[in-house]
Every structure is written in C-alpha cells, then in structure tokens.
C-alpha cells in the first residue's frame, strides 16, 4: 500500500495503481473521457488533469502512478480552471444537437459541461468545423463525426480487446475523425461495445438509434441467455417493451463487454408471442387450460415431460418436483439443446444453452431421442420447439397428445393439441447457472403480456387440479426450497460495479 | 470501393524487398516499418494506393486501417492517383467557330468520359475551359503545359495513342 494525501485527507491506496483509479476507490471522482478501466491508458483528453505538489505542471491522473507521500489536489483553483478550459476545447466544434442526439441524458459532455464547463461559447455555430453526420461504420454502428471528441476509446477497444484494429483516427487537427479503412467496415462481433464506450453521442447503435429517450427507460438486472457464459446485462424497458440490452460490469464473468449476437437478440421478446392458451387453435381461458392439462395427465397413461436448458433453475426445479411428486410414473428429460457455435476466445463459449449446468445440478437427464421413441401417451414440452429446431424429433410427436408450454408462437405451438403461454426470461425472476457453475439471478424487466405466466405457477395450478400441493405458487418460497435442496445452486452475488459508466 | 471490387494487388519490387529486409532490424516492432514503406510506395508509384496500404499492413503485421491512419496524418503522402494528362479544351468563340464542339465530343467518346470527369484509371482528366489565348489557331487544347492547335479528330487519335504508350 502507498500513502497519499488526496484533497487534504491522507489515504491508503494500492501501490503502483494509476492515480485516477486509486482516487475512484477512495470515492473521489476525477472527470475523464479517454480513460476507461478496461482499456490501455492514453491521456489524450486532458480532463483528468490534477495538481501534484512539487510538480510544476498539472498531471493527468490517468497516466500518473501513485507514489508514497504524493500530495494530490483534484479541486484546486488551477485544476478547476483548466478543467473548464479543456471542456471549452472539447466543445469547440460540437454541433450542440442534443435535441436529436441519442446520447442525451447519458452524455459525458452534457454532464461535465454542467459540472465543470458552464462557459459561454466564443465560437458561433457557423464558425464550427462541419463533419459527416451519418457514417455507416459497419452493420451495427453509426458514427456522427461532429460529436466525436477523439478520445479513441473505440480505437483502443478494437486494437486491444478484439484485436481487429478496424477503427482509427484519420487526418489531423480539426479534420481528424474516426474511420475504418475504405471498404472495410467495422464487422467484429463485439463492435457494439464501442457504442457503450463512447462517452459522447458519436457512436450510436443502429438498432437503438432514435428509438427512445434514455430518461424514459428503466432498467432491470438480467443475464444474457445467449450462451453458457451468462454475461451480466441490463435490459432497458420503455412502455413494457425491451428497448436495448447493455452490458453490466462483472469482472468475474464478462468484464465490461457483451457480444453483439447476444445484445441484438431481443426482438423475440417483443414479437410473435403466444398471448393466450389455445386448444387446437381455439383460444381458452388460463383456468380452463390448466384444467385441460390436468385432465390429460390424470388419464394415467405414460407422460413424458421435456425440459429445456433455457429454462430458469427455479422453473426446472418446480418441474422436477412436479414429475416426482405429482406424476411419479412420468419421465423427465431435457431437450431442445441449441447447436453450438464457435468459442471466439473473448466471451462467447461454444454451448449456446444458458442453463445446461443448472439442469444437470437439478438432476434432469438428457436423452430426448430415446424418451420420445419409447413414449406413447402425453408429451409436455416446456420451451421446446421440437418441430422447428429438430424436425426429425418433431415427427415422433405424431399420434401423441402434445401440450406445449411456450413463450413464442413456434411450429410446435401451431401443431400442439394444447398450447399454454409462459413468460420469457425477461418477464420473470429466476436464475441461470453458467459454464463455471456460477448461479446468477435475474429480475423481471417487463410485465408479462397477455396471459403468460411463469412455468412454476402453471405447474402449481395443474398440481392443485390433480389434488397435490406443489408449493410452487410463490417464487420466493420456491427459490428458498431450491437453494436448500440443491446445494450446487447457491446464488452468486454480482460484484465489481465500480467505475461502471464513466463519462 | 468495396474490398471485393479491387482486384489489383500491390507488390514491392525485389530491390525494395531487399531494402525492407535490411530495415527490419532497426525497429522494435514491425509497425515501425509503416512510415518507410509508405514513402517507398509513393516514390515508386507517385502515390499511395489503397492496395499499397493493404500490402504494407500485411508486411507490418497490422490492419490496413492503422496504415491509413498514418498515411492520412501526413499531408505529404498523396492518397489519390495524380492525373497524368490534364486535357483542357477551349470552348470559346474562335475555337467554337472552328469546330471545338466536335473535338470535345470526339475526346469524350475516345476517353469514355464527359467533360469535367477523369478516367477510371486516373490518367486523363477532361475539361472544357475558357479562352486560352490561342484564338488564331483554333480549335485548340492544352494538355498539362503544352498547347495543341488546329485540332482534327485524326490529330487527337494520334496524340492519345502517344499518351497511351506512356
């Protein structure tokens, strides 16, 4: 540890750490744009200039390593003045188009101008250097060159994190701007992280552009269901619709990033949903569908329950309990495993099933091929689209009574005798267990549309019709019971939120 | 100019490759070679083409964008192919009376471009200009610094053939 004096208070900080980081850990925020905890330091924006006793000129806190006995002032008259002047330089050519800018509301320029700038512009809009307002850098990222302050976070991200180095600063002086090599667009699988990294409104997401004002949105902490990594995410909602997915910092899982494939896979939550229970295509009330399902199960013939590795631990646990307690003669297997994709060495892992590990821990075996071949009676499919994903298995549903519990309208739902709407991961609380056995909770981001309910609630109702108490109506009680019985699923607490959104 | 549309590739001459090999030891990282290679490409070709930047990126183990960033920073690098033949046809009164319109039309047809445009390979640029003070010898045109006077389609053909050999 090193001892430094920060704004008159003596502090113990980590040795050899950068001053900006050390100060942040002491709760002292030093304004900055180009610095980002997950990127190499560059010291180009000059916003983090601070006064260090014995050093004649101001030093950038992001490039200065703490020294024992260092006396630092981050709020002296000189520092405050320089900060305001740096702001004036950064805003020299800013188009002040906040009313049409997506970043408005979460913009580093707006925030710091109010805190440290508040100067009158000496430059008229007519005198400002005009640049391109809409540059398609790649399929998912759009650049507004006029808003860019050339902090080069995006450049460093592409150089050091993805190693693809597509983005650079071309030209010089007032004409300097972010660009790709002509004819070589920004296509790497993590490109949209540059939009998060951009402290201003220069880089915007093509998908989210002009969709929603950020101050209208509310966010929920969730887990990306795209692969077994279990990246920590935020789901931002407006008017009960998911507007965008953003990474949530967790150094133990995904650091600061998520992949574009995961981030963009939100449309299915908002579209093509199964909203009402249907029997042979005819809508029926939820009560009726529960009774219908119960009566199909009470006939005493063989029952096959098919779980999915995309279901939450809590729902899987309720299903396991249902099969053991309510239908002791039934068979329960996991099905509908998604095809693997390539491990890209950054975040994506080959297994695209978010909760395979949870399913294993709860004790649901695989082997759907065999189970379907031998089953003769009723088949209950939970979040399984056998006809769509695995048509060769779908054919084996012929002649059986099929009850599909599904969030979306799939081929299987269309063919089922009874289809029951269930909530997606975005509309309920739950948890996934990732590749490393880390069980991570997620919270509901939106209210369920239509008559969709979580699987455990539906199972509880069906059990009641069959004369059993599944004790799965309350989510909290269900989770407690699960945590008690399945010790492998102890809940991980998210950590490392410091310095999350900076500038 | 999408990458797929560009079929040409750039290669340094054998002599240059020997020079590059000799330079390698001087720099800690292969990226240190970017500047000397940009200079070589410009010296050899008169400009730095996108193809040259791609080749340089390969040699220097970096992305073409990184080379582009450096090349655009220094104004001394020429990033557009310089026009080899600047053809300016007079379209003022004397020349017009002597048939400059058909001369211009002939040039447009032969070069496959309209006045005000450059050929795809960047060798010729054609423009119709105001009086060049050679009214006694129209129709006339100026190519780079030279005057060509009392033009006929045949004369144009011969001239273009001569330029084409260059």
What confidence tens digit (pLDDT) does each residue in A160-192 have?
999 999 999 999 998 999 999 999 999 999 999
Contact across the interface for A184 and B69, Cβ inside 8 Å: no
- Per DSSP bridges, beta strands B141-143 and B146-148 are antiparallel
Cβ(A153)–Cβ(A194) under 8 Å?
yes
Where residue B166 falls among pLDDT bands split at 50, 70, 90? Answer: low
Give the distance from residue B154's alpha carbon to the nearest chain A alpha carbon, in angstroms.
41
Q: What is the tens place of the pLDDT at every residue in B70-108?
A: 999 998 898 988 888 999 999 999 999 999 999 999 999
Distance, in Å, from the CA atom of A437 to the CA atom of B40, rounded to the nearest integer, reads 56
Distance, in Å, from the CA atom of A355 to the CA atom of A147, rounded to the nearest integer, reads 41
Please state, as a whole number, how many other Cβ atoms lie within 10 Å of the Cβ of residue A415. Answer: 16
For an interface test with A, the pick among B54, B63, B80 (most A C-beta atoms closer than 10 Å) comes out as B63
Note whether A167 contacts B: Cβ–Cβ < 8 A. yes
For residues A498 and A187, the model is more confident at A187
Distance, in Å, from the CA atom of A265 to the CA atom of A274, rounded to the nearest integer, reads 18
Q: Which of A259-263, A450-454, B33-37, B82-86 has the lowest mean pLDDT?
A: B82-86
Distance, in Å, from the CA atom of A38 to the CA atom of A18, rounded to the nearest integer, reads 13
Asked if CATH classification 3.30.1540.10 holds for the domain at B14-73, the reply, yes or no, is no
**Average pLDDT score over residue span B158-163:** 93
What is the per-residue pLDDT for A183?
94
What is the per-residue pLDDT for A384?
87
What is the per-residue pLDDT for A498?
44
Query: E strands within A291-330?
Result: 303-307
Nearest C-alpha neighbor of A167 from the set A151, A154, A177: A154
What is the per-residue pLDDT for A396?
86
Where residue A501 falls among pLDDT bands split at 50, 70, 90? Answer: very low
A323 secondary structure, DSSP code: I
Sheet containing B141-143: which strands, arranged edge to edge? B124-129, B85-90, B141-143, B146-148
Sign of CA dihedral A77, A83, A88, A89: positive
Contact across the interface for B50 and A181, Cβ inside 8 Å: yes
Q: Which residue of A has its CA nearest to B1?
A: A183
Classified by CATH at the fold level, domain B85-163 comes out as: Glutaredoxin (3.40.30)
Q: What is the tens place of the pLDDT at every residue in B108-154?
A: 999 999 999 999 888 899 999 999 999 999 999 999 889 999 999 99
Q: What is the tens place of the pLDDT at every residue in A341-371?
A: 999 999 999 999 999 999 999 999 999 999 9
Percent of chain A with pLDDT over 90: 87
For chain B, the structural domain boundaries read 14-73, 85-163
Contact across the interface for A168 and B68, Cβ inside 8 Å: yes
Where residue A302 falls among pLDDT bands split at 50, 70, 90? Answer: confident
Distance, in Å, from the CA atom of A150 to the CA atom of A129, rounded to the nearest integer, reads 14
Res A500 pLDDT > 50: no
Contact across the interface for A168 and B65, Cβ inside 8 Å: yes
Distance, in Å, from the CA atom of A480 to the CA atom of A416, rounded to the nearest integer, reads 34
Where residue A301 falls among pLDDT bands split at 50, 70, 90? Answer: confident
Tokens of A395: 């054919």
Percent of chain A with pLDDT over 70: 98
Residues of A in contact with B6 (CB under 8 A): 183
Cβ(A408)–Cβ(A383) under 8 Å?
no
What is the ipTM metric for this complex?
0.83
What is the per-residue pLDDT for B29?
95
Chain B contacts to A (CB-CB under 8 A)? 1-3, 5-6, 50, 53-54, 62-69, 72-73, 75
| Domains detected in chain A | 2-75 (3.10.20.740), 125-269 (3.30.70.20), 272-489 (3.40.50.740)
Please state, as a whole number, how many other Cβ atoms lie within 10 Å of the Cβ of residue A273. Answer: 19
What is the per-residue pLDDT for A494?
59
What is the per-residue pLDDT for A491?
86
A114 secondary structure, DSSP code: I
Please state, as a whole number, how many other Cβ atoms lie within 10 Å of the Cβ of residue B84. Answer: 16
> Which class for B144: exposed (0-12), middle (13-18), buried (19 or more C-beta within 10 A)?
exposed
What is the per-residue pLDDT for B2?
44
Contact across the interface for A168 and B66, Cβ inside 8 Å: yes
Res B8 pLDDT > 80: no
What is the per-residue pLDDT for A386?
86
Q: What is the tens place of the pLDDT at every residue in A470-492?
A: 999 999 999 999 999 999 999 88
Res A255 pLDDT > 50: yes
SS3 A76: coil
Where residue A495 falls among pLDDT bands split at 50, 70, 90? Answer: low
Tokens of B35: 């500047």
Tokens of A32: 């900055």
Q: End-to-end CA distance of chain A, in Å?
A: 28
Of residues B6, B63, B75, nearest to A165 (C-beta): B63
| Matching residue, tokens 């992949």 | A259
């Amino acid at each position: 540890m090193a001892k430094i004096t920060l704004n008159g208070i003596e502090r113990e900080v980590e040795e050899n750490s950068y001053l900006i980081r050390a100060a942040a850990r002491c709760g002292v925020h030093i304004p900055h744009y180009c610095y980002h905890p997950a990127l190499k330091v560059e010291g180009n924006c000059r916003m983090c200039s601070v006064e260090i006793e014995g050093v004649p000129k101001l030093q950038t806190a992001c490039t200065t390593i703490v020294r024992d006995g260092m006396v630092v002032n981050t709020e002296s008259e000189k520092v405050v003045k320089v900060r305001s002047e740096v702001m004036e330089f950064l805003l020299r050519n800013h188009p002040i188009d906040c009313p049409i800018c997506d970043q408005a509301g979460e913009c580093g320029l707006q925030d710091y101008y109010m805190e440290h700038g508040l100067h009158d512009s000496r430059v008229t809009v007519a005198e400002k250097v005009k640049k391109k307002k809409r540059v398609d850098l790649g399929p998912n990222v759009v650049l507004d060159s006029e808003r860019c302050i050339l902090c080069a976070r995006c450049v460093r991200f592409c150089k050091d994190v993805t190693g693809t180095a597509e983005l650079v600063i071309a030209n010089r002086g007032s004409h300097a701007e972010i660009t790709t090599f002509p004819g070589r667009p920004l296509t790497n699988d993590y490109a949209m992280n540059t939009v998060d990294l951009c402290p201003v409104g220069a880089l915007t997401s093509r998908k989210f552009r002009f969709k929603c004002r950020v101050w209208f949105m509310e966010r929920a902490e969730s887990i990306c269901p795209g692969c077994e990594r279990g990246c920590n995410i935020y789901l931002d909602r407006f008017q009960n619709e998911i507007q965008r997915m953003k990474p949530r910092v967790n150094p133990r899982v995904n650091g600061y990033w998520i992949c574009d494939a995961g981030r963009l896979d939100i449309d299915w939550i908002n579209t093509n949903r199964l909203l009402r229970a249907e029997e042979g295509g005819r809508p029926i009330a939820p009560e009726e569908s529960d009774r219908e399902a119960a009566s199909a199960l009470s006939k005493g013939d063989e029952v096959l329950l098919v779980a999915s590795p995309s279901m939450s631990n809590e729902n899987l646990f309720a299903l396991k309990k249902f099969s053991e307690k309510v239908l002791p003669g039934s068979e329960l297997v996991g099905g509908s495993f998604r095809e693997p994709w390539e491990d890209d060495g950054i975040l994506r892992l080959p297994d695209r099933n978010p909760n395979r590990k949870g399913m294993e821990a709860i004790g649901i075996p695989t082997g759907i091929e065999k189970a379907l071949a031998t089953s003769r009676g009723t088949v209950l499919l939970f979040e399984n689209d056998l006809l769509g994903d695995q048509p060769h298995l779908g054919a084996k549903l012929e002649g059986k009574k099929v009850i599909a519990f599904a969030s979306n309208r799939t081929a299987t739902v269309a063919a089922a005798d009874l289809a029951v709407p269930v909530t997606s991961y975005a509309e309920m609380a739950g948890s996934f267990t990732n590749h490393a056995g880390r069980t991570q909770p997620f919270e509901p981001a939106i209210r369920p549309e239509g008559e969709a309910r979580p699987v455990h609630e539906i199972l509880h109702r069906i059990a009641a019709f069959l004369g059993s108490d599944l004790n799965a109506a309350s989510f909290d009680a269900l989770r407690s019971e699960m945590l008690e019985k399945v010790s492998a699923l102890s809940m991980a607490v998210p950590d490392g939120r410091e310095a999350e959104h900076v500038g | 100019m999408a990458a797929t549309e560009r079929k040409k590739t750039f290669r340094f001459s054998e002599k240059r490759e020997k020079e590059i090999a000799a330079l390698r030891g001087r720099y800690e990282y292969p990226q240190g070679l970017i500047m000397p290679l940009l200079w070589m490409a410009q010296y050899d070709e008169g400009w730095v083409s996108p193809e040259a930047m791609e080749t340089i990126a390969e040699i220097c183990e970096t992305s073409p964008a990184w080379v582009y960033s450096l090349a655009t920073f220094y104004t001394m690098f020429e990033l557009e192919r310089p026009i080899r033949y600047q053809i300016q046809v007079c379209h003022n009164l004397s020349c017009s009376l002597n048939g400059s319109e058909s001369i211009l039309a002939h040039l447009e047809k032969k070069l496959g471009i309209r006045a005000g445009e450059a050929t795809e390979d960047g060798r010729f640029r054609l423009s119709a200009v105001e009086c060049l003070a050679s009214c006694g010898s129209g129709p006339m045109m100026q190519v780079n610094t030279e005057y060509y006077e009392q033009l006929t389609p045949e004369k144009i053909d011969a001239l273009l053939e001569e330029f084409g050999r260059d």
